[in-house]
């Protein structure tokens, strides 16, 4: 088996090496092809991955190239983890909205929208290459915002794609820690969108948690994000990203008061991480990588690949066109929901009704997502404005108009659909 990683200069790539070695008895990889447009980062990552692979006792070949076609030909899986414009553009996504009193964040709100506007055209190019050079391959996407990317590719491409996010694991982690039970004993219903999702009906050994047990899980789930009191009122465990919706004023104030945005912090962290990767004596993941976030990154990817390759039916939470699993929405609307994964593909599972308390916010963000995808595909500024207006974190015309123009100009080099050559 050959696997390609597009965006292999990402600091997360060693997590994939680790996962493949752990599953070497089920995923018989003979080549891992690393692809990136940043030659320096690619070379550093190639060297480190080879050293790390040797340390772990893995035996497949690691290759590196800037030629996407060469990497894609013969690949069974294509892992995509790109960041168009790098962290420099992420900083614009964070800083500009704050000047308008709106949260600046890489996947939520205006920042998330502009990340999608930059990324969707590039992902469509990648999908076209996959269809040409390895049409049977599955794209395992971790590029954010993954829900919008999957929706765009599902509309415009026939590529097989699974949109993944480690956040789907969090409710299980919280339950396991709070109640001191093993992960395989925990289950829950789950509904929503990427970074706009909720776990409910939490169970251990098939038994619904008592009120007291749920409250303990809610207390454990407070990573400085959503207040546990609100979780106890909702009787839901939300994605940590819901902090930006449920504590909007507080989070805007906190972000505005910081000396550095998260993107600037990540830039500094990555200098440290890549200095360690470049050290020829280094064959262990650097400690600084833990500060980067992304826990569980390879766990879901490896599991999905295992199920697809070995035709072992398993349940995963995936961003996928819902196909009727979520009543009231078009079949091609992408939701982050439980699915059965096997060699026959990814089958969405019917979910219980969306809890009444969060029906409105999910509907609003889904509406925003579909407008934003249309804007990304067409370069239509009016559609981009409508998307901002639909987003619950904006919704103000007098803010949306100037903010949109400023963010368009800040991203001009990465938005050919909005700025055609010669105009």
The residues annotated with a catalytic role in the active site are 241
Question: Could you give the CA distance from residue 128 to residue 141 in angstroms, rounded to a whole number?
Answer: 15
The three-state DSSP-derived secondary structure of 64-117 is EECCHHHHHCCEEEEEECCCCCHHHHHHHHHHHHHCCCCCCCCCCHHHHHHHHH
Please provide the DSSP assignment of 240-300 as one string.
Answer: GGGHHHHTHHHHHHHHHH-SS-HHHHHHHHHHHHHHHHH-TT--S--GGGGGG--TTHHHH
Whether 318 contacts 96, CB under 8 Å: no
Question: Could you give the CA distance from residue 118 to residue 109 in angstroms, rounded to a whole number?
Answer: 15
Q: Which residues, other chains included, contact 25 with Cβ-Cβ below 8 Å and sequence gap of 6+? A: none
Bridging pattern class, strands 186-193 and 196-204: antiparallel
Instruction: Please give the structure tokens belonging to residue 103.
Output: 């949260």
Provide the 10 A C-beta neighbour count for residue 35: 26
| Strand boundaries in 104-241, DSSP class E | 138-141, 160-163, 186-193, 196-204, 207-208, 237-238
Helix axes 381-390, 397-410, angle to 10 degrees: 130
3-state DSSP assignment of residue 191: strand
Instruction: Please give the structure tokens belonging to residue 212.
Output: 């007291």
Q: Which secondary structure element, helix H or strand E, spans residue 34, and what is its range?
A: strand 31-35
Whether 176 contacts 182, CB under 8 Å: yes
Q: How far is CA 250 from CA 214, 224, 225, 257, 403, in A?
A: 26, 12, 11, 11, 21
Question: Could you give the CA distance from residue 268 to residue 256 in angstroms, rounded to a whole number?
Answer: 19
Question: Could you give the CA distance from residue 43 to residue 23 in angstroms, rounded to a whole number?
Answer: 25
Q: Which secondary structure element, helix H or strand E, spans residue 36, and what is its range?
A: none
Provide the 10 A C-beta neighbour count for residue 383: 16
Q: Which of 174, 127, 131 is nearest to 296 (CA)?
A: 174
């Amino acid at each position: 088996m050959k696997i390609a990683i597009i965006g292999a200069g990402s600091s997360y790539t060693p997590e994939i090496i680790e996962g493949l070695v752990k599953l070497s008895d089920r995923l018989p990889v003979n080549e891992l092809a690393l692809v990136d447009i940043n030659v320096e980062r690619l070379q550093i990552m190639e060297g480190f991955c080879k050293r790390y692979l040797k340390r772990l006792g893995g035996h497949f070949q690691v290759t590196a190239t800037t030629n996407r076609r060469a990497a894609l030909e013969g690949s069974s899986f294509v892992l995509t983890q790109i960041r168009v414009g790098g962290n420099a553009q992420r900083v614009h996504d964070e800083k500009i909205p704050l000047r308008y009193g709106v949260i600046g964040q890489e996947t939520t709100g205006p920042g998330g929208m502009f990340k999608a506007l930059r990324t969707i055209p590039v992902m469509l190019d990648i999908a076209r290459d996959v269809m040409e050079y390895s049409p049977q391959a599955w794209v395992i996407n971790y590029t954010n915002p993954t829900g919008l990317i999957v929706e765009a590719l599902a509309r415009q491409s026939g590529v097989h794609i699974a949109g993944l996010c480690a956040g789907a694991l969090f409710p299980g982690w919280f339950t396991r820690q709070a109640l001191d039970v093993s992960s395989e004993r925990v289950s829950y219903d789950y509904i929503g969108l990427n970074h706009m999702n909720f776990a409910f009906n939490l169970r251990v050994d098939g038994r619904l948690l008592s009120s007291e047990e749920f409250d303990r899980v809610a207390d454990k789930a407070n990573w400085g994000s959503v207040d546990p009191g609100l979780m106890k009122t909702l009787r839901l465990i939300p994605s940590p990203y819901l902090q930006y919706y449920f504590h909007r004023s507080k989070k805007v104030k906190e972000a505005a008061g910081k000396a550095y945005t998260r993107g600037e912090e990540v830039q500094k962290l990555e200098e440290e991480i890549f200095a360690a990767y470049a050290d020829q004596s280094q064959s262990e993941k650097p400690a600084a990588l833990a500060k980067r976030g992304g826990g569980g990154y390879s766990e879901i990817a490896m599991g999905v690949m295992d199920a697809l390759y070995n035709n072992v039916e398993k349940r995963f939470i995936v961003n996928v066109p819902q196909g009727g699993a979520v009543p009231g929405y078009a079949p091609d609307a992408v939701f982050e929901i439980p699915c059965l994964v096997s060699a026959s593909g990814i089958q969405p599972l019917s979910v219980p009704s969306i809890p009444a308390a969060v029906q409105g916010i999910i509907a609003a963000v889904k509406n925003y997502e579909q407008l934003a995808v249309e804007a990304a595909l067409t370069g239509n500024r009016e559609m981009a404005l409508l998307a901002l207006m639909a987003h619950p974190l904006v919704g103000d015309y007098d803010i949306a108009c100037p903010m949109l123009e400023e963010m368009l100009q800040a991203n001009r080099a990465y938005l050919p659909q909005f700025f055609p050559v010669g105009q």
